[in-house]
Chain A
Amino acid sequence: MRVLGIESSCDETAAAVVENGDRLLSTMLASSAAIHAQYGGVVPEVAAREHTMAILPVVKGVLAQAHLAMQDIDAVAVTEGPGLLGALLVGVTFGKALALGLNIPIVGVHHLEAHLYANALVEPLRFPALGLLVSGGHTTLVLWEDHGQLKVLGETRDDAAGEAFDKGARALGLCYPGGPEIERLASSVPQTALSLPVAHLGSQTLDFSFSGVKTATVELARREPHRKAEIAKALQIAVVTALARNVGRALDQYPAHDLYLAGGVTANQCLRERMQQIALEKGVAVHFPPRQYCTDNAAMVASLGYYKLIKGVRLPYNASPRVNYPLGT
C-alpha cells in the first residue's frame, strides 16, 4: 500500500510517499526556515500562507520524484493535530479533497505519535518500547506497547527542552532555531566550569521542568557575558542530564527492551551519546531516527498512517483539525 503523507501542523509544509509503512519512496519539505530565521521564531501567518502556496507543488514534487502518478497512490495520511488551526486546516482540507477526488481512504494522525514513526523508516519497530519525544514544543516520555497503544509516563510541566535551548540561545545572542547553535557553541570548548540547575521534581515522577534552567541561563548570560560557550555547554549538560535521568528511571520501572527517540532535539550529539550510555547500562537497544527525519516531515506521517489504515481507521470527511489533541487518546 502506497500512502501519501501530508504534514502542515507548524513550520513545514511537507509531503512523502511511503510503501507499507517502512519503504520511503520520496519525501519533500517546503521549508520556510529561512523566513523564520529572520523573525527569531515560528511566524504563524507567514506559515499559514506558505502552507497554502506550498502544498500543491510539494505533493506534485514527491510524486514526480517517485515516478508516480496521482492514481498510483492507495491512501492519504494527514496530520490531524495538535497544532495551529490555520496551518492544520491547509493539510487536512487538501488531503480530504484529494482522497475524495481519487476515491481512496484517508486517515488522520497525531503529530507527536508520528514523530516516533521516523524510527519505522529505518527498521521494524519492536514493542514494548519506551519513547522520548523532545522538540521545541514538547518533552514527553511514553510507554509504547504496540501500534496505537501509547501511554504518557511523563512530560514537561512548563517549558519544553527545545524551548530551553531556543530561549537560552536568545539570551546568548544566537540565532533561531537555538538547538544547533547551542550545540555548535558548546562544542567549541572542551569543558565548562559553570553549572546550571537540573530541576528536582521528586524521585517518583517522570515529569520534566525546564523553566528554572531557562531563567538561570538568562541570569548567567547577564552575569558572565564573556563566557558564552561555557554557558552553552552548561545548558546542554543540564538539559541532557534531566532527560537522561527520567529515561533511566522509566527503564527501571517498565519492561521495555527498546528505546526510541524522536523530535528535533534528538539531533543533538551530546543527547545521543548520553542515551547510548544509558541504553548500555540498562541493557536495552536505543534507536535514533536519521537526522533529516528528526524534525517535522511527512514520511513519519505516511508511516504511522499506514499502520492506522490497515486497522481500518479513517478520517471522516466532515472532520476538523484537532488543535488540542492529547497523546494516547
Chain B
Amino acid sequence: MDTASITLRWTSLAQMDEIAATCSVLWQPPAVVLLEGDLGAGKTTLVQAVLKKWGIQDRIKSPTFDLVHIYQIMHTTIYHVDLYRIAEASELMVLDLPSPVTLEVLLVEWGHWLRDGYPERFECQLTRQVDDARHMVITAFGQEPLKRLKGVGR
C-alpha cells in the first residue's frame, strides 16, 4: 500500500495550537487516527487541542481509565480512545468501536492495536525530545488519507 509522511515539530503550546489546526483539517470525518508515543509525549494534549478546534466545549479528559470517551458534533460521533491498558487484541471487542465504513472520527492513543482493522488511516508517532520539544511524524495509509496529506502539503 502507498504511504506518505510529514514531520511536524513544536516547542510551545502556541505552536502546537497551529499544528492542531492543521490536524483538525487533516482529520475531518471520516478519519481514523492512531497515535503512538511514550508516557508524556503529548498525545492527550494534542487530541484536546484538535477537539477544541472542532468546537467541542466539553471537558476533554484522559480516557486511560475509562478507555473510551465519546463526543458529538452535529451528526458526527468522535471517539477518543486510549488503549494503554489493553493487553491483547481480543479485548478490543467489548469497546464497540465503529466500523471503517461509518462517518465517524476515531482518535486512538496507543492505537497500534487497530492497524489491521482500519486500512485507511493516519498513524502519528509523537516523540518528546530532550529540550522538551515535540516531534510528530504523520503517515497516511490509503487513498483518502494520502489525498488529504498532499492537500495540507508541507
Q: What is the bound-complex CA distance between A43 and B65, given in angstroms?
A: 10
> In this assembly, does B40 line the interface, its C-beta being within 8 Å of a C-beta of chain A?
yes
Q: What is the bound-complex CA distance between A266 and B56, given in angstroms?
A: 32
> In this assembly, does B6 line the interface, its C-beta being within 8 Å of a C-beta of chain A?
no
Q: How far is the CB of B17 from chain A (nearest CB, A)?
A: 16
A48: nearest residue on chain B (CB-CB)? Answer: B94
Q: Which listed residue, B90, B92, B94, touches A84 by the CB 8 Å rule?
A: B94
Please state if B90 and A45 are interface contacts (CB–CB under 8 Å): yes
> In this assembly, does B24 line the interface, its C-beta being within 8 Å of a C-beta of chain A?
no
Q: What is the bound-complex CA distance between A136 and B94, given in angstroms?
A: 20
Q: Which of A147-174 contact B (CB under 8 A)?
A: 155-160, 162-163, 166-167, 170-171
> In this assembly, does B25 line the interface, its C-beta being within 8 Å of a C-beta of chain A?
no
Give the number of residues in B that approach A within 8 Å (Cβ atoms): 28
Among A10, A45, A160, the most chain B Cβ lie within 10 Å of the Cβ of A45
Please state if A45 and B93 are interface contacts (CB–CB under 8 Å): yes
Give the number of residues in A that approach B within 8 Å (Cβ atoms): 42
> In this assembly, does A82 line the interface, its C-beta being within 8 Å of a C-beta of chain B?
yes
Contacts of B92 in A (CB 8 A): 45
Q: What is the bound-complex CA distance between A135 and B62, given in angstroms?
A: 13
> In this assembly, does A219 line the interface, its C-beta being within 8 Å of a C-beta of chain B?
yes
A207: nearest residue on chain B (CB-CB)? Answer: B59
> In this assembly, does B101 line the interface, its C-beta being within 8 Å of a C-beta of chain A?
no
Please state if B45 and A211 are interface contacts (CB–CB under 8 Å): yes
Q: How far is the CB of B10 from chain A (nearest CB, A)?
A: 15
Contacts of A271 in B (CB 8 A): none
> In this assembly, does B95 line the interface, its C-beta being within 8 Å of a C-beta of chain A?
yes
Please state if A159 and B67 are interface contacts (CB–CB under 8 Å): no
Q: What is the bound-complex CA distance between A245 and B70, given in angstroms?
A: 31
A9: nearest residue on chain B (CB-CB)? Answer: B66
Q: What is the bound-complex CA distance between A46 and B93, given in angstroms?
A: 11
Q: What is the bound-complex CA distance between A45 and B64, given in angstroms?
A: 16
Q: Which of A173-222 contact B (CB under 8 A)?
A: 211, 214-216, 218-219
Contacts of B87 in A (CB 8 A): 38-41, 43
A42: nearest residue on chain B (CB-CB)? Answer: B85
Contacts of A138 in B (CB 8 A): 65
Contacts of B38 in A (CB 8 A): 218
Q: How far is the CB of B137 from chain A (nearest CB, A)?
A: 20
Please state if A42 and B65 are interface contacts (CB–CB under 8 Å): yes
Please state if A214 and B39 are interface contacts (CB–CB under 8 Å): yes
Contacts of B67 in A (CB 8 A): 42, 44, 84
Please state if A45 and B39 are interface contacts (CB–CB under 8 Å): no
Q: What is the bound-complex CA distance between A323 and B62, given in angstroms?
A: 16
Q: What is the bound-complex CA distance between A138 and B29, given in angstroms?
A: 29
Q: Which of A1-58 contact B (CB under 8 A)?
A: 10, 38-48
Binary flags per residue of B8-44, CB closer than 8 Å to A gives 1, else 0: 0000000000000000000000000000001110001
| Known contacts A158-B44, A214-B40, A215-B128: A44-B95 contact under CB 8 Å | yes
Please state if A215 and B64 are interface contacts (CB–CB under 8 Å): no
Q: What is the bound-complex CA distance between A215 and B134, given in angstroms?
A: 13
- 14 CB contacts below 8 A, A to B, read A39-B85, A40-B85, A42-B85, A43-B85, A44-B94, A45-B90, A84-B68, A155-B61, A158-B44, A160-B62, A163-B64, A214-B39, A214-B40, A215-B39
Q: Could you list which residues of chain A lie within 8 angstroms of chain B, going by C-beta atoms?
A: 10, 38-48, 82-87, 135-138, 155-160, 162-163, 166-167, 170-171, 211, 214-216, 218-219, 323-324
Q: A40-B87, A157-B61 are in contact. List 11 more A-B contacts (CB 8 A).
A: A39-B87, A41-B84, A42-B65, A43-B86, A45-B91, A45-B93, A86-B94, A87-B94, A155-B59, A158-B45, A166-B64
